[in-house]
Amino acid sequence: MNYYDILIIGSGPIGLACGIEAQRAGLSYVIIEKGCLVNSLYNYPANMTFFSTSERLEIGGVPFMSVNNKPTRPEALEYYRRVTVKFALNLRLFEEVLEVSRLADGFSVTTSKTSYTAGKVIIATGFYDIPNRMNIPGEDLPKVTHYYRDPHYYAMQQVLVVGANNSSVDAALETYRKGASVTMVIRGEEIGKRVKYWVRPDIVNRIAEGSIKAYFQSSLTAIGPHEAEILTPNGPITIPNDFVLAMTGYQPDFKLLRKFGLSLSDDEKLCPFHDPDTMETSEPGIYLAGVVCGGMDTHSWFIENSREHAGKILKDITSNLFRK
Ligand SMILES: Cc1cc2nc3c(=O)[nH]c(=O)nc-3n(C[C@H](O)[C@H](O)[C@H](O)COP(=O)(O)OP(=O)(O)OC[C@H]3O[C@@H](n4cnc5c(N)ncnc54)[C@H](O)[C@@H]3O)c2cc1C
């Protein structure tokens, strides 16, 4: 019988933290993940370093040791895998949750492989699956990506990087250092203020010395097979181009959240409604955990400050059990 007290959608750091708390509370639970373990982190740029220090990424009280104080992606993958093994978390990988519907007492959950019933559902689906599109001609050409992985591929190529925040800056510096000719297209007047403090001077200096070309207050307007069109303050220009790294950010899967019956805020943030004390949504018995909570505002929630959601949710669920 596929019944669990709690069904958790997503095996990111916060979904795993929820599994650990459910286990500690003595409740039955399952974590359903559409990709591999910590799928979003697995798909981050290969050489990425977190801006958080390792102890701020810890879950379940398990110490996270890293060589330097800011861990790398491979260290984080290893950490979360070891935590999963330590707690023997009940996981189903490569299984996507498609539907959640309410029953008289709990929920029916349909996945790409089977179906479950659950007393409560926790949505910890993050925001890394859907990139913010530029909606310009040529965006779907194979030379355009919203997911930068590794610099070697771009050696000796003309690379255009869109954006001025951490992901764009990392991609620009790494590809430049592997011999790409890099142009950045930046909407604002300067490199983003949120860029890691130890990286920002590097990009500012590379732009100042002309090693990396940057067009500020500019936007990419069209992409062709061998060129890119940019609207600059001095008028439109066309530059030769082999690859576009469109680091324009990501957004939660709002279609899925609506399908699960959740209410979203009316403003541009599309914040899924939840009680910040309990993390319960507009649908009683369905909880939100992790960075999905912020809607389009993907710069307020991180692992650092959303790992506490697991404790809040389990406190609410267990206190309701006692009240019954
Ligand atoms: C490049 C980058 C660097 C970052 N660096 C930091 C940092 O240094 N410090 C920090 O605190 N935060 C950082 N963040 C922000 C944040 O911590 C991460 O987004 C983190 O992964 C959020 O954890 P999460 O568990 O909420 O979501 P995620 O890790 O995104 O996990 C969500 C999971 O849900 C799965 N999923 C989605 N839909 C379904 C479905 N329908 N069925 C089944 N599974 C599903 C996904 O495959 C994914 O594995 C960074 C984010 C990015 C993009």
* 246, 276, 309 - which closes a domain: 246
Q: Let me know whether 124 and 255 are in one domain.
A: yes
Assess whether pLDDT exceeds 50 at residue 324: no
Neighbouring C-alpha atoms within 13 Å toward the C-beta of 149 = 7
Residues 222 and 259 placed together within one structural domain of the fold = no
Provide the domain count of the chain: 2
- The pTM for the full model equals 0.95
Q: Quick check: 40 pLDDT over 50?
A: yes
Of the residues 215, 246, 277, the one at which a domain ends? 246
- The residues pairing with 161 across neighbouring beta strands, listed in sequence order, are 184, 245
Q: What is the mean pLDDT of the chain?
A: 96
Distance from the CA of 298 to the center of ligand 1, in angstroms?
11
Pick from 44, 65, 37, 9: which is nearest to 247 by CA? 44
How many Å lie between the centroid of ligand 1 and the Cα of residue 286? 19
Q: What is the pLDDT of residue 200?
A: 97
Q: List Cα–Cα distances, 244 to 2, 156, 183, 188, 226, in angstroms.
A: 45, 14, 10, 19, 11
Which of 7, 36, 40, 250, when mutated, tests ligand 1's pocket best, judged by the most ligand atoms within 8 Å of its CB? 40
Of 246, 281, 308, at which residue does a domain stop?
Answer: 246
178, 155 contact by CB (below 8 A) = yes
Could you tell me if 242 and 272 lie in one domain? no
Q: 68 pLDDT band (50/70/90 cuts)?
A: very high
15/34 same-domain check: yes
Same structural domain for residues 10 and 119? yes
Residue 13: CB within 6 Å of ligand 1? yes
Are 32 and 97 members of one domain?
yes
Give residue-wise pLDDT tens across range 122-175.
999 999 999 999 999 999 999 999 999 999 999 999 999 999 999 999 999 999
**Same domain? 202 vs 187:** yes
Same domain assignment for residues 49 and 149:
no
51 Cβ closer than 6 Å to some ligand 1 atom: yes
User: The domain containing residue 212 runs over which residues?
Assistant: 133-246
- Same domain? 77 vs 158: no
Determine the Cα–Cα distance for residues 147 and 320; give it in Å rounded to an integer. 42
75-99, pLDDT tens digit by residue?
999 999 999 999 999 999 999 999 9
Which residues, in sequence order, are CB contacts of 96 under 8 Å at separation 6+? 32, 34, 111, 112
User: Does the CB atom of residue 290 touch ligand 1 within 6 A?
Assistant: yes
Residues 12 and 105 in one domain: yes
Closest atom of ligand 1 relative to the 44 alpha carbon: 1
Same domain, 115 and 20: yes
Ligand 1 midpoint to CA 7 (Å): 18
Atom of ligand 1 nearest to the CA of 95: 43
Ligand 1 center from residue 214 Cα (angstroms): 29
The CATH code of the domain that includes 318 is 3.50.50.60
For 197-255, the pLDDT digits (tens) are 999 999 999 999 999 999 999 999 999 999 999 999 999 999 999 999 999 999 999 99
Which residue minimizes the CA distance to atom 30 of ligand 1?
Answer: 126
Same domain as 28, residue 175: no
